[in-house]
Structure 1
Amino acid sequence: MKTNNEVQILQAYGWNEYWETALFAQNQTIKRLSPARVVAQFSHSYNIMTESGEHSAVVTGKFEFNAAKRGDYPAVGDWVLVEHLPGETRSVIHAVLPRKTAMVRKAAGNVIEDQIIGANLDYLFIVNALNQDFNLRKIERYLVAAWESGAQPVVLLTKADLCEEPETFARQVENIAPGVPVHFISALLNQGKEDLSEYLRSGSTIGVTGSSGVGKSTLLNWLAEKSLQEVQGIREDDARGRHTTTHRELFLLANGALVMDTPGMRELQLWDANEGWQHAFADIEALAERCRYRDCRHEADPGCAVVEAMNTGELDPKRFANYRKTARELAHLARKEQASSGKANQRTNRPKTSKSSLRPNKKTYLQED
């Protein structure tokens, strides 16, 4: 029987009826195990929050043997089933409860494999600075991964003190991200924090992602109202950031919200996608549905609604170029993945076609540097 204090620790880190039900479904034959949440991830070990406080942990040999791919391993934000070592603040991880949401990237290197950036996120803060780093095309790419993750994307435009008219940039983002909340903030001027209160609710888990130097760690410290992460300045010549965060970590704020800081990404290499890509470019997909021909290439075909929209100013040609670029990337990566899996099972099935001939047929994730 758990004490009130033990229950309160788990609840503070997001434990609720949903996870209680998941635990009941998974834990029928392993009653000795207890739930815990992964709060930090290192190369071969984890920090987890248990009912009795923070422990270090590793996976069992059986877990490691049965893991078919890297994405099967625990990630920050996961709820895991653990066995506590008697008299120690160490545990071993036996299982991962099924994830509600997951932000995923391609594993580093040439391996065709996924890797979880953050699990069980309610919101994903996509952070972009209002300096030379501001880039609508980069935000579009993050949105693809955000929608694919299952978490609600929110765009934060940081360093608003460096910009004379941040509202103008916010409107530009709103035009490429229909339905996505967009906020401009300044930690230096303590501006915009009240706009984030609806996301920073007790028990909510928020992932923070973006390029190096956009102010993710500064944002975390500002929201926490104390120094949780070290911060560094940007380079003066190109406003590019320096790496500060070296690992993923989940922090509990005083207001009860949980915020996950992640290492910066220099480059977004998309991997494996469909739904997130379609959602991020839903306006172009809708235009494509109005084209006269099903196999319209959106170039010089008669009756092309996409070309007409660009001619009238309804659609930004740069946005359409990014739509095509990401589609080609995804198609190329899908072929590589199919070729890799084909070596094992010799499958040669082609993906289904759709009205938009550019549409990829795989899930899309981020490549982190």
Structure 2
Amino acid sequence: MTYLDYQATTPLAPEAFEAMLPWLRDQHANPHSPHRPGRAAKAAVEVARDEVAALLPPGGRVVFTSGATESLNWAIKGTGGALVTVASEHAAVLDTVLWASRNGRNQTVLPVDHYGFVDLPVAKAASWPDTGLFAAMLVNNEIGVIQPVERLAELAHAAGALFLCDAVQGYGRVPIPDACDLVAISAHKVHGPKGIGALWIRDGVALEPLLHGGDQEGGRSGTLSPALCAGFGVAARLMADHRDADAAHVERLWSYAIDRLRGWTVNGSTEHRYRGNLNVRRDGLDVNRLMSDCRDIAFSAGSACASGSGRPSHVLRAIGLSDAQARSSIRLGFGRYTTEDELARALDTLVAAADAQFR
């Protein structure tokens, strides 16, 4: 099986796995307990917190959560005022904003252009009365486009609002601007374990709790897993250590894929984009048939969170594609553990299977 679905999840780094093992096998203490084993577990959590924070802006704190979905829900539901977001955001943002609007908060959803960027003149001209929060994604999970987050944060601050950055796909790969007030991240997108994420909260920003209970994380309740924290911490450290090598490797894979997929159309900007995300279409392609014919390749027809819905991608529709064009698109995601040889073999198989549909 060739794995080309890095936007859905990434392979667990061996080093992260090894860091988790002692806390799964031998050291089972609760990190919130005052005895010696509990303090040792607490120390492991704090080491991990520092490692995760090293890739985030200064002047804030990292709060561990169950994942980015919880982080985004907490950031949106924990603030007040009207909400502004973008049409190409992840469902964890759009659905939460919709929920909030049904509970009395006004919402504005800004459009994106053909390349996937927020239309800044439209954003500037938008009505922002009583806006409390502007939420936007750093790197789009479906088309890889890098939004001008710093400029968007400036718009939010000019309106007196906080700025929430969904940095799930960009964390450790694309610099996160210091202008952000809240940043949501997830471990399993950076070769860490599933089931843990974090919300970075700028100093001085106060959120209403989403979960009530023991307040173990200072605003977030629930017992932390030292194993998951340790795995996240090591994965974050590796993202920092391997940043340049990973970027160069992804660039080589991107260049090869673009060359091999001549005749296919790239969805979204090819310039301001994370290169490990390649979303392409071939008009008239039956993607379901392609996936059936290429069962030894793991790739996507859209966001994993929307798989099985039967609806065309809202992101591809937001950039102006028709339903038919959206349904003829595939997403290939690759990264640190993808070899050039396996990518070449997978692309040969995909292209041959697609060509067979048009004979």
Q: TM-score, normalised by structure 1?
A: 0.23
In terms of fraction of residues, the more strand-rich structure is 1
Larger helix share, 1 or 2:
2
**TM-score in terms of structure 2 length:** 0.24
Work out which of the two has the higher radius of gyration on C-alpha atoms and give 1 or 2: 1
